[in-house]
Amino acid sequence: MKRKMTREEIVQICFACEPNFAKKWAKEIITTQSLHTLWELIVESDTLSLSKEDLEKFKFRSAYLLETVFCTDPKLFYPFLNQFFEVFPTVTNPSMRRHFAKICFFALKQGNYPHNIERIATACADWIIDTKTRVAVKVWALDILIELAKNNNWVKELLPEVIASLSVKPSAGMLVRLRKIK
């Protein structure tokens, strides 16, 4: 086995502009068993000595890398799931939200339910009603609510209101998603 990647190496990777960035480096993170280091960097990202612009870029790229690792081998991510579910509602970076929402949805779909369902559902509802939230994030947030509604009556009761809010002047992408629901 190769040696684990350092924090500095992972930060540098997140700033490298290269084709297939996520696929290549997710494989490396898996091979070197460096997921713990990547996760720590994501959780502690606000403490990194980076400019605001670089920090936003790092948050996006590291979340993209995390999603690729999760989609490649979800079982590797299981030790971090509880902490992930705690961090999920606190994510403010718009690009990071997309990747976190995708991970959250697939984790839920695989039967991994968090204890803080209310915080996750509230975050998703907030992201959906925020006019600044990108469509892809809203779609994933909606999918999370639909998944949570399967086992939670109060989320099920909230869903029609959320869908109604999305139905007012929907973008083309949201219209396609709403049609699938109906």
Q: Are residues 10 and 51 in the same domain?
A: yes
Q: In the predicted model, what is the mean pLDDT of residues 9-32?
A: 91
The rounded distance, in Å, linking the Cα atoms of 177 and 56 is 28
Q: Are residues 109 and 22 in the same domain?
A: no
Q: Are residues 105 and 182 in the same domain?
A: yes
Q: Are residues 62 and 13 in the same domain?
A: yes
Q: Are residues 24 and 113 in the same domain?
A: no
For 132-180, how does the pLDDT look when each residue is reduced to its tens digit (9 = 90+)?
999 899 999 999 999 999 988 989 998 888 888 878 777 787 777 788 7
Q: Are residues 100 and 36 in the same domain?
A: no
Give the chain's mean pLDDT. 91
User: Does residue 182 have a pLDDT over 70?
Assistant: no
pTM, to two decimals: 0.91
Q: In the predicted model, what is the mean pLDDT of residues 114-139?
A: 92
Q: Are residues 62 and 90 in the same domain?
A: no
Q: Are residues 171 and 93 in the same domain?
A: yes
User: Does residue 31 have a pLDDT over 90?
Assistant: yes
Q: Are residues 127 and 167 in the same domain?
A: yes
Q: Are residues 149 and 89 in the same domain?
A: yes
Q: Are residues 58 and 96 in the same domain?
A: no
Show contacts of 69-77: CB within 8 Å, 24+ apart.
Answer: 69/26, 69/29, 69/30, 69/35, 69/38, 70/103, 70/106, 70/107, 71/106, 72/26, 72/27, 72/30, 73/30, 74/106, 74/107, 74/110, 76/30, 76/35, 77/35, 77/103, 77/107
User: Does residue 48 have a pLDDT over 80?
Assistant: yes
Q: 149: domain range?
A: 80-182
In this predicted structure, what is the pLDDT of residue 165? 82
The rounded distance, in Å, linking the Cα atoms of 135 and 169 is 12
Say how many domains are in the chain.
2
Q: In the predicted model, what is the mean pLDDT of residues 93-121?
A: 94
Q: How confident is the model at residue 93 (pLDDT cuts 50, 70, 90)?
A: very high
Domain end: 22, 50, 72, which one? 72
Q: In the predicted model, what is the mean pLDDT of residues 12-37?
A: 91
**Rounded to 5°, angle at Cα 80 from 77 and 82:** 125
Q: Are residues 87 and 58 in the same domain?
A: no
